């Protein structure tokens, strides 16, 4: 169903605010549209999570592994590769399911890397 069809069927309502701008308001009682919208939002969120994982993986390759060369570092790098593969699989899926477990795994990898990562420091605290 196209956006204009949704507006005609009452799924979305168009209105003008005080500034004269047109706004589109979603009808929360249409569950089928809400589900498709959630799937779209989930895919967008998963894409952001994938980019964060790839950024962290790049950091592992550039900074952590060449310096420390520990077995645990290589193991964490493999976990990131697996996590990215699972995120791609979730993005291809059309189900509306929670992906909190993927975020939790990313956070664990990020916490591991944070031990030597300086970019998380508060730059306002630094004196020039």
- Average pLDDT for residues 74-87, to the nearest whole number? 90
pLDDT digits (tens, 9 = 90+) for 20-45: 776 766 655 554 544 444 444 667 77
- Give residue 48's pLDDT: 84
Q: Given the structure tokens 């950091």, which residue do they identify?
A: 59
**Tens digits of residue pLDDT in 83-116:** 999 988 887 776 656 778 888 888 888 888 876 4
Q: Which tokens sit at 92?
A: 């291809």
Element (H, E) at 95: none
pLDDT at residue 81, as a whole number: 93
Q: What is the pLDDT of residue 109?
A: 87
CA distance 114 to 16: 47
């Amino acid at each position: 169903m196209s956006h204009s069809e949704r507006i005609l069927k009452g799924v979305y309502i168009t209105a003008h605010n005080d500034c004269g701008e047109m706004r589109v308001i979603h009808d929360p009682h249409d569950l089928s549209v809400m589900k498709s919208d959630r799937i779209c939002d989930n895919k967008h969120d998963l894409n952001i999570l994938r980019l964060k994982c790839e950024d962290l993986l790049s950091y592992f390759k550039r900074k952590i592994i060449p310096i420390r060369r520990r077995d645990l570092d290589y193991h964490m790098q493999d976990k990131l590769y697996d996590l990215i593969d699972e995120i791609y699989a979730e993005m291809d899926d059309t189900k509306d399911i929670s992906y909190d477990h993927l975020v939790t795994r990313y956070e664990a990898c990020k916490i591991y890397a944070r031990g030597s990562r300086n970019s998380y420091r508060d730059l306002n605290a630094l004196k020039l």
